Chains A and B, each alone.
Chain A
Amino acid sequence: MFDQIRNHYYHFLEQLGDAVIITDQRHRVLYMNQKAVEITGFNKDELLEERLLDHLQIIDNAGTDICHNVLRPVMLKKTPTGLQEGTKLCFGNRNCFYSSASITPWEHEGEDGIIWTFRDITRVVNRTLELKDQFDELKVFKTIFDESQTIIMLLDLNGRFVKANKAAELRYGYTREEFAEISVEEIRQDPNVLLEIRDKNRVHQKKIKSVHFTKSGEAFPVEIFSRYINLQGENYLLGMVKDISAEQEQRRKLRQEKKKAEDANAAKSEFLSNMSHEVRTPISGIMGMTELLLKDELNKDQVENLKIIKRSSENLLNILNDVLDYSKIEAGHLSLNNAPFSLEEFVENIRKNYQRVAKEKNLRFEVLNSVQTKKELYGDVNRLYQIINNLVFNAFKFTNQGAVSFSVEAVEEKEKQIKLNFLVKDTGAGINKAKVPELFQPFVQEDTAYHLRKGGAGLGLSIVKQLVDLMGGTVGVKSEKYEGSLFWVTLEFDLVDQHTSVSNTEPDFENLKGRRILLVEDFSINQRMVVSFLKPYGMEVTIAKDGKEATDKFQQEIYDLILMDIQMPVMDGIEATKWIRNFEEKQNLSPTPIIALTAYALKGDREKFMDMGMNSYLSKPYRKDELLSIIDEQLRIDGSKDNLLEYLKNRTTEGEAGVAEELESGKIEDVQHFIQQLGKAMEKIEEESLENLGRDLRDFGKAEKIAFVEEWAFKFLLAIRRKDFTKGDNLLRDFRKRVEEVRHENFSRGR
């Protein structure tokens, strides 16, 4: 019975899933089961009776044999022990494996030993290590995700946040928990955003610009890279968001700087223009009055003095013109105005102009034109006059005896071009050779003392040089002191064929040159057509093929004008216009003119388009000149449209109806006071008083809205100004009478 049981146990042990080795006091193997044979790699006969410790090493995860350490508590204290995680059992040179084990002392009938129970857990350990590796890697990615400066978010297709990183939490002000509660509509306040996310025809991956909102409602511009990803069979939208406020701020600053520079340039040319007006007006007053005086009966001395005044003013004007021209050239505001002209006529005019001067200075003026062509030349004749006048004028200025000669010769004549040499020669003082190179510099005269004697701002030759440069020619001088000078100018002109020469009635659209136009149009043939219309006029055309692209381009560049197609895919012209107007308002930019291009134009459409933020519209198909005119018109409107006509219309009154009502008794006294004073001034014909009183009375009539008074005062003023005092007198008499009548009417009506 007992044997039977023992036999059973023996078989149980043999079939146990764990390896079992039993040793005696001296570690000799008493027993090992079948599993132990399998995993140790030793047969029973190889180990039985052998000292187990001769064949076993217990290796910790540092690679050290810790066998004795492990066995110490078992041997000394007779307590069971196990193996630490990561410990290997190595049997001889055969099998080595991670193991979990229990090492238990046994005692029986005075004998003792150890029972080793162990199993190979290498597979489990390896799997754990693998998982740990994976876990570590995940940790790396999580850290990257969390610490990334770029905002990263993962959305499901309902727009719910699945994940958002720390950068997102920081920028938007939502905590991780709050993100889990909200949808993308909270950060992008665009009613279409969900439709966009769910769009069946979505682009797998795209880059867009938009505006996002933080929890506190702050808006900031962003650039979003988004792509759809599949995680465990579900589709998600991965978005990487870049806050581009700083970039935009930078761009805005650049824009501002650019605007400033442009404004400064505009201010400069306006200053030049004003300058020329401010100075020319009084000079022209002096000259005009002098001329009027010269028509009177005067003695010889008076005539001479007046002529001196006249000549001095002419000189002053010339200097002014020089300075202005020079500044204009310097500022790059001077452009050539080319048109066909006759060379013959030009030469003849120069001859005529200087005949009188030659006679006065007792010099000969020889003019020779050896150019044979009968064709007209194409160029800026006014600038050519300026060049030659400057040279001939100088020649006369510095020559006291002998002759000045002006000649034109052809250097080279082709079928369509002609190169001409203009020569101006004098027998004057000549120029010191050393001074020649700096002759065409501004403010240098050969002898600075000439400044005092000969006049001139010292700009003449430098203007000549600048103009010749502008016309693509060359200018030079050959001179020796005391031997006169020879100035030459070489210029090339196009020849105008008589048959093709038509008077230039087409507006030249100079204003359009260099303008930046954004063309928003999806149809490539239309794109090409518009570009071919605009390019020849010097406009830079950028094409956007839909509204979305237009808004993107608009943020990156400054355009002078936008041509906006209405029907387009993705984002239509109306939406794009709204977006642009909104953007301009937010960025504090002045509105860019937008012209709608539409195939459907009906009555009242203009108003409709205006309401939608467009400035004008053009219905397709349109002609080239229509397009150019409308662009020209829009570029000229400076935003401050004057409402002069409205103002005038509101003030127009009809006839004399209601004069009595208009003139209340209190005001009649004021008017009669004016009449009295006007009467006094009229007696002695004090023009200045009459003018002032007339203006005051007219202003009074305007302010009090008494059209009758205002109109009368105006008529009176005009009569006085044209010195028709008889008419003025009559007007005053009638007015006095009428006012008296009104007073009676009012009186009788009990006012």
Chain B
Amino acid sequence: MKILVAEDDFATRKLLLNLLKDYGECDLTVDGLEAVEAFMLARKEKEPYDLVCLDIMMPKVDGISALRAIRDIEKDQKVKDPVKVMIISALDEQQIVKDSFSKGTVAYAVKPLDTDKFLQVVEKLLKQ
């Protein structure tokens, strides 16, 4: 399994790596731009990600824009199975949550993470 994480906060990045490394190769990126670049690189190398976890408020490119870019790239390359994208954010306004679902998110986790619940969701997503 390959997982891509985009998170600008160092501690959260470390936490996510620790939580996710047992499920496969977990790549860490520090902003939305890097995330989209990593996504493109993996597609190019024919080793696409199984799960992408995006923070929302990040430098350069925010998570929602990154998500939109990922979906646009998939449309462009006529990808049959779009990658599962999960948002992990400190933002919990209903509007933002709904908005991200409408843009193709499959799960939304609010920080601070309830790690047990988070891992349950990740497992479920990876099994699908």
Contact = CB atoms under 8 A, between A and B. Distances in A.
Interface of A: 273-274, 276-277, 280-289, 291-292, 313, 317, 335, 337, 507-508, 510-511, 642, 644-645, 648, 652, 711, 714-715, 718, 721-724
B36 interface: yes
A289 B11 contact: yes
Interface in B54-106: 57, 61, 65-66, 69, 72-73, 89-95, 98, 102
A711 B41 contact: yes
Nearest to B66: A644
A652 B38 CA distance: 12
Given A507-B98, A718-B27, 20 more contacts: A281-B9, A281-B12, A281-B90, A284-B9, A284-B12, A284-B112, A285-B9, A285-B10, A285-B12, A288-B115, A292-B15, A337-B94, A507-B102, A644-B61, A645-B73, A711-B41, A714-B38, A718-B29, A723-B17, A723-B21
Contact of A721 (B18, B28, B115): B28
A508 B98 CA distance: 9
Interface of B: 9-15, 17-18, 21, 25-29, 33-34, 36-38, 40-41, 57, 61, 65-66, 69, 72-73, 89-95, 98, 102, 111-113, 115
A722 B112 contact: no
B11 A286 contact: yes
A288 B15 contact: yes
A291 B16 CA distance: 12
29 contacts: A273-B93, A276-B90, A281-B12, A284-B113, A288-B12, A288-B14, A288-B113, A288-B115, A291-B15, A292-B14, A313-B112, A317-B112, A511-B95, A642-B61, A644-B33, A645-B69, A648-B69, A652-B40, A711-B41, A714-B34, A714-B41, A715-B41, A718-B28, A718-B38, A721-B13, A722-B17, A722-B27, A722-B28, A723-B21
Nearest to A269: B93
Contacts of A313: 112
A436 B67 CA distance: 50
Given A317-B112, A645-B73, A510 B9 contact: no
A54 to B, nearest CB: 112
A427 to B, nearest CB: 32
A273 B36 contact: no
Nearest to A286: B11
Looking at chain A's contact residues, the main secondary structure is: helix
Contacts of A648: 36-37, 40, 69, 73
A276 B111 CA distance: 10
A277 B65 contact: no
A608 B121 CA distance: 47
Contact of A289 (B15, B21, B38, B65): B15
A510 B11 contact: no
A284 B25 contact: no
A95 B26 CA distance: 128
Nearest to B20: A722
A45 B73 CA distance: 129
Contact of B95 (A292, A510, A645, A714): A510
B3 to A, nearest CB: 9
Contact of A277 (B14, B28, B90): B90
A662 B38 CA distance: 22
B27 A644 contact: no
Contacts of B37: 648, 714
A277 B57 contact: yes
Given A288-B113, A648-B36, A642 B65 contact: yes
B14 A289 contact: yes
Contacts of B9: 281-282, 284-285
A644 B76 CA distance: 14
A715 B34 CA distance: 11
A496 to B, nearest CB: 19
A288 B116 CA distance: 12
Given A284-B90, A652-B40, A722 B11 contact: no
Contacts of A652: 40
Contacts of A277: 57, 89-91
Contacts of B27: 718, 721-722
Contacts of B95: 510-511
A274 B14 CA distance: 22
The 5 A-B pairs at the shortest CB distance, nearest first, are namely A285-B11, A288-B15, A284-B112, A280-B90, A284-B111
B112 A283 contact: yes
Contacts of B15: 285, 288-289, 291-292
Among B27, B66, B69, residue most surrounded by chain A Cβ atoms (within 10 Å)? B27
Contacts of B26: 722
Contacts of B113: 284, 288
Among B11, B18, B93, B112, residue most surrounded by chain A Cβ atoms (within 10 Å)? B112
A285 B55 CA distance: 14
B11 A280 contact: no
